[in-house]
Amino acid sequence: MMTLNELLRPLRTQSELTPEQDQIKIKQIDMDSRNVAEGSLFICIKGYTVDGHDFAEKAIESGAAAIIAERSLDVSVPLIIVDDAKRAMARLASYFYEEPTKKLNLIGVTGTNGKTSTTHILDQILRDAKHKTGMIGTMYTKIGDQTFDTANTTPESLILQQTFKSMNEANVQTAVMEVSSHALHHGRVRGCDFDIAVFTNLTPDHLDYHETMDKYLFAKSLLFSQLGNTYEGKTAVINIDDLSGPRLAQLTTADIITYGIRKPADIRARDIKSTPEGTTFILEAFGEEVTVTFSLIGLFSVYNALAAVAAALASGIELKQIKASLEHVKGIAGRFEPVQCGQPYSVIVDYAHTADSLQNVLDTVTELTNGHVTVVVGCGGDRDASKRPVMANIAVKQADRAIFTSDNPRSEDPELILKDMTKDLLADNYETVLDRKVAIYRAIEAAEEGDVVLIAGKGHETYQDIAGVKHHFDDKEVAAEAIKGRMT
Ligand SMILES: CC(=O)N[C@H]1[C@@H](OP(=O)(O)OP(=O)(O)OC[C@H]2O[C@@H](n3ccc(=O)[nH]c3=O)[C@H](O)[C@@H]2O)O[C@H](CO)[C@@H](O)[C@@H]1O[C@H](C)C(=O)N[C@@H](C)C(=O)N[C@H](CCC(=O)O)C(=O)O
Ligand SMILES: Nc1ncnc2c1ncn2[C@@H]1O[C@H](COP(=O)(O)OP(=O)(O)OP(=O)(O)O)[C@@H](O)[C@H]1O
Ligand SMILES: N[C@H](CCC[C@H](N)C(=O)O)C(=O)O
Ligand SMILES: [Mg+2]
């Protein structure tokens, strides 16, 4: 709880509050009128769908004691006008919750692909080293052993600061979070005091939103320029094999740890051997060497491991301990996850929903099998349409057979998404099957001994978003039903 006068201090606004209004007690901050309670400060956010200013009255009816807005409103409680409500929200939330990230070793992971995977590997290493950890990302938010659902990979600043405060209360030492480009662009992580920033890679995605790769890189770069200009205790972990790596390195004054496979790097993997059971490699870290046996599959997984190793070393964990942790990292839900029901062919569910990830995963599958490869894949609606034909092209080139189907069409017509994917395809090794369940069944029913069916795009998701309604749908569940159905 804070007085309004005290809470507004970091905004440095010239609010014309009476001495009585100055003393109003603010019990919580809200950006959603549906959460407002007695004594809330309600912040009006102009969204993509609706305008929070239209809910100010509703918030007051629910007990809002003051309103922050970007324009004048006829309201009965104190109104503070700011130029940018989201910017104000980040500042106020961090202040109200007593700058919780300053009490955490905060690690942010950004990049087009590999954020969830890297954060999960890193969390395992940290927990093995007896750190109490928190995680924020695509699959969930986790505080200690408790998990919570999240709507976004990187939530809005208010939710973030509340989460960090809960982490402080639970004595979390290290928080590992995915930082999406949307979040960076929207300023959701303003007010987060990162200690370590990790870059995985940059390949085309979200160009509907960022428009050009340069602007997309600029959004990602904000994590590195925000790393502070004292290098004391701040580290940027950079994939030096990625074209954008060196550019990001130039943007930070923090210490830099590079990792890679192809180029010389501080943290490097060599002699990589992949089998369907896992990967072994020699890990070099600042001149020391250890051999790692790792259960995750594919070169891309080695990159994610290297990123996690670098961030763990920067967090003070010993290489010996890191090696031991890597050796018992378990598979990550929906990432190259096998569906095993005793069938003589392989079925793999994976979250590849970009051209680069699909290419990487198909490269891995084709390298590890002598059988036929069938890929079942679609593209999401209300997302970058430019990746659709590129993904389809990779599918027909890399796999023996592709079944194009629906992903999350959201507000788009799924037939039109399929048309976008296939309109310029010259190949004839594909078919389109709109119903995802039918598509998965068809691929599995045709699989023979030694073949691989890759079901890409939805990974861990347990729903299919059609016209804004989330229907239960789980690729793993459907695949298992199809496999068992064939056995009976
Ligand atoms: C395009 C986008 O980023 N949208 C985000 C945005 O939603 P919005 O602008 O539509 O919000 P809105 O519904 O118009 O509401 C505006 C304001 O009115 C308030 N409101 C609304 C209704 C009401 O009754 N009362 C009320 O007060 C809302 O709480 C909000 O403050 O603000 C919401 C709350 O923070 C986010 O959950 C939502 O993310 C949606 C779910 C989304 O799909 N975002 C994607 C694009 C995204 O951000 N993805 C990245 C990951 C991408 C990646 O790297 O793969 C992510 O970090 O998740
Ligand atoms: N380092 C990597 N490079 C390229 N592709 C990768 C890499 N790591 C994972 N992938 C592929 O990308 C998919 C998504 O991986 P992951 O969930 O870790 O990425 P993410 O960055 O968290 O994605 P999102 O932006 O949706 O949260 C995986 O299922 C795999 O196909
Ligand atoms: N974080 C990604 C997830 C995409 C998952 C895919 N199944 C889709 O719906 O496009 C996004 O919001 O673009
Ligand atoms: Mg993710």
Q: Kindly identify the ligand whose nearest atom is closest to the C-alpha of 151.
A: 1
Pair (146, 236) in one structural domain? yes
Pair (296, 410) in one structural domain? no
**Do residues 92 and 112 make contact, with C-beta atoms less than 8 angstroms apart?**
no
Closest CA to 458 of 109, 112, 139: 139
The CATH number covering residue 221 comes to: 3.40.1190.10
Pair (40, 174) in one structural domain? no
Closest CA to 194 of 245, 241, 237, 140: 237
Can you give the pLDDT at residue 229? 65
Q: Kindly identify the ligand whose nearest atom is closest to the C-alpha of 137.
A: 4
Pair (440, 413) in one structural domain? yes
Pair (316, 346) in one structural domain? no
Closest CA to 11 of 191, 183, 182, 192: 191
Give residues with Cβ within 8 angstroms of 481, minimum separation 6: none
CA 55, CA 105: separation in Å to the nearest integer?
A: 37
Of the three residues 73, 96, 119, the one that is the final residue of a domain is 96
Q: What angle do CA 32, 383, 477 make, to 5 degrees?
A: 90
Closest CA to 114 of 352, 434, 330: 352
The CATH number covering residue 473 comes to: 3.90.190.20
Counting as low any pLDDT under 70, the low residues of the chain are 14-15, 229-231
Atom of ligand 2 nearest to the CA of 119: 18
Pair (321, 415) in one structural domain? no
Pair (271, 408) in one structural domain? no
Pair (105, 92) in one structural domain? no
Of the three residues 96, 115, 142, the one that is the final residue of a domain is 96
Q: What is the pLDDT of residues 119-172, one digit of tens each?
A: 999 999 999 999 999 999 999 999 999 999 999 999 999 999 999 999 999 999
Of the three residues 96, 122, 152, the one that is the final residue of a domain is 96
Can you give the pLDDT at residue 230? 64
Distance (Å) from CA 442 to ligand 1 centroid: 36
Distance (Å) from CA 78 to ligand 4 centroid: 40
Query: Ligand 1 pocket, 69 CB below 6 A?
Result: no
Asked whether residue 347 is domain-assigned, the answer is: yes
Structural domain boundaries enclosing 60:
2-96
Pair (83, 123) in one structural domain? no
> Is 383 marked as binding a ligand?
yes
Query: Ligand 1 pocket, 467 CB below 6 A?
Result: no
Pair (229, 260) in one structural domain? yes
Q: Which of 207, 383, 410 to mutate to test the pocket of ligand 3 (most atoms within 8 A of CB)?
A: 383
Asked whether residue 437 is domain-assigned, the answer is: yes
Number of compact structural domains in the chain: 3
Asked whether residue 331 is domain-assigned, the answer is: no
Can you give the pLDDT at residue 224? 94
Query: Ligand 3 pocket, 387 CB below 6 A?
Result: no
- Residues having CB within 6 Å of any atom of ligand 2: 113-117, 138, 153, 178, 200-201, 300, 303-304, 335, 350-352, 356-357, 360-361, 459
The CATH number covering residue 63 comes to: 3.40.1390.10
Pair (71, 106) in one structural domain? no
Pair (240, 127) in one structural domain? yes
- Protein residue whose Cα sits closest to atom 4 of ligand 3: 353
Q: Which of 152, 153, 185, 208 to mutate to test the pocket of ligand 1 (most atoms within 8 A of CB)?
A: 152
CA 12, CA 10: separation in Å to the nearest integer?
A: 5
> Helix/strand/coil (H, E, C) string of the chain?
CEEHHHHHHHHCCCCCCCHHHHCCEECEEECCHHHCCCCEEEECCECCCCEHHHHHHHHHHCCCCEEEECCCCCCCCCEEECCCHHHHHHHHHHHHCCCHHHHCEEEEEECCCCHHHHHHHHHHHHHHCCCCEEEECCCCEEECCEEECCCCCCCCHHHHHHHHHHHHHCCCCEEEEECCHHHHHHCCCCCCCCCEEEECCCCCCCHHHHCCHHHHHHHHHHHHHCCCCCCCCCEEEEECCCCCHHHHHHCCCCEEEEEECCCCCCEEEEEEEEECCEEEEEEEECCEEEEEEECCCCHHHHHHHHHHHHHHHHCCCCHHHHHHHHHCCCCCCCCCEECCCCCCCEEEEECCCCHHHHHHHHHHHHHHCCCCEEEEECCCCCCCCCHHHHHHHHHHHHCCEEEECCCCCECCCHHHHHHHHHCCCCCCCEEECCCHHHHHHHHHHHCCCCCEEEEECCCCCCEEEECCEEEECCHHHHHHHHHHHHHC
Can you give the pLDDT at residue 278? 93
Asked whether residue 332 is domain-assigned, the answer is: no
